[in-house]
Amino acid sequence: MSETTVTTPAHPIQLDDAKRRLKAIFIGSVGNLVEWYDFYAYTAFALYFAPAFFPSHDPVVQQLNAATLFAAGFIVRPIGGWLFGHLADRYGRRLSLMVSVLMMCFGSLIIAFTPTYETIGFAAPALLALARIIEGLSLGGEYGASATYLTEIADPEHRGFYSSFQYVTLIGGQLTAILVLLLLQNVFLTHEQLVAWGWRIPFVIGAMLAVTAMLMRRHMHETESFEAARATMKKESSLKGLLKYPREVAIVVGLTAGGTAAFYTFTTYMQTFVKQTVGLSDITTTYVIAGSLIFAAILQPIYGAISDRIGRKPLLIFFGLAGSLLTVPILTTLSGTKSAFVAFLLLCGAWVFTAGYTSINAVVKAELFPTAIRATGVAVPYAVTVSIFGGTAPAIALFFKQQGHEQWFYYYLAGIIFLSFLVYSTMRDTKHASAMHRHE
């Protein structure tokens, strides 16, 4: 039987190779979705479990305590980025991705079965903090390994499109958590049952999904880039190798700062903002956030495909400029509306420019580094920056709110995005100056 091919004017692509690539991207993306579902279940259900771990008469204080632990999970992400980045660069992307999703399973199980503050006192929030640290280590490695894997498995002409599915599944993880929340809110449990014990259910579900994803990842193909580089890799510390690329590390930090602050504002913090500041009900808030995230997920592959045609830099500049100018007006208008539909439109408007970063940031970072240190190069500086600017965004916003100056956060966010805009304006376009072919 003759080999079947699909021919384009420049590159023939074997159907078997295309199917293998799509299967690998699907499995890698599903695992990424499960990891982020587990991580975001914490945020989606924080309104229900915060009283069980942080007794207080002030709901803002309860949410601030929960947000502080959310930030704690980010503090350890650089360690996870180094650990799993080294694992991915020395022993393969597949192994790193398997171990990271298994760790997420353990973190979810701890949250699911930890007794309340009323039962074991201070040990309850301490165990919750331990679970967040485990999940933070897991995610610190997941991002770099999955970004590297999705970028390397794609063909050169469609790297932006394929790598955009990292944020499709990342957003999909949060959507899945919200879907579970909606089902529990509207179908299976009363509000009282959710507060009493129902909030534990999503973490049990997450642990089971993580085991399933780990088993699926056992059958992932290793990337050709890693296999080609394995024989010639130097046996040196991945961090030592990373020090040879200070410019690239600085670019990752600069391009990430504004993007990650915007992302965690319009995803993680919006669940609390829309409920407490806008004043919508729990269920209406969930619908608004879910709708805006569906819109955001649709934008990712569209923007990724655009970057394959016009380059990465124009999209980053669009995000930086629009984000600097429109963040304050959008959040100010959002805080003053009482309409769920207007809130939905404003959040979609924010995603129109935020997707300029989220859709392509993974491929941009991967294209900066050679194969031998790519996972570490993507993961470590990204994790450090996310710890500083991303994971802290909800806590900073709630702190300003508690002090009676919530609008200060709007200007803080716009300022961080502007700093990243300066980086976007001066960096090279990685689509046209990629290090993907370098294995040293």
**Phi, psi of 286, rounded to the nearest 5 degrees:** -60, -40
* Residue 431 falls inside a structural domain: no
In this prediction the pTM is 0.81
In a domain, 439, yes or no: no
Residue ranges, the chain, pLDDT below 70: 1-21, 55-73, 226-239, 433-440
CB 179 within 8 A of CB 283: no
The number of helices, as runs of H, and strands, as runs of E, in the chain is 22, 2
Q: Token digits for 406?
A: 């919530």
In a domain, 6, yes or no: no
Distances (CA, A) of 2 to 5, 7, 11, 15, 20: 9, 15, 19, 12, 19
Residue 239: give the domain boundaries.
14-426
Asked whether residue 437 is assigned to any structural domain, the reply reads: no
pLDDT in the model for residue 408: 92
**Residue 138 is assigned to a structural domain of this protein:** yes
Rounded Cα distance, 354 and 420, in Å:
12
Question: Is 411 inside any structural domain?
Answer: yes
Domain count, the chain: 1
Which amino acid does the sequence have at 49? F
**Tens digits of per-residue pLDDT, 49-80?**
777 777 666 566 556 666 666 666 677 878 88
The CATH number covering residue 191 comes to 1.20.1250.20
Confirm whether 251 is domain-assigned: yes
As a whole-number percent, the residues of the chain with pLDDT over 90 amount to 23
- For the stretch 82-125, pLDDT in tens is 888 878 877 777 788 888 888 888 888 998 898 887 788 878 88
Q: Which of 193, 172, 207, 169 is nearest to 28 (CA)?
A: 169
pLDDT for res 322: 96
Distance CA 400, CA 181 (A): 28
Domain-located, residue 7: no
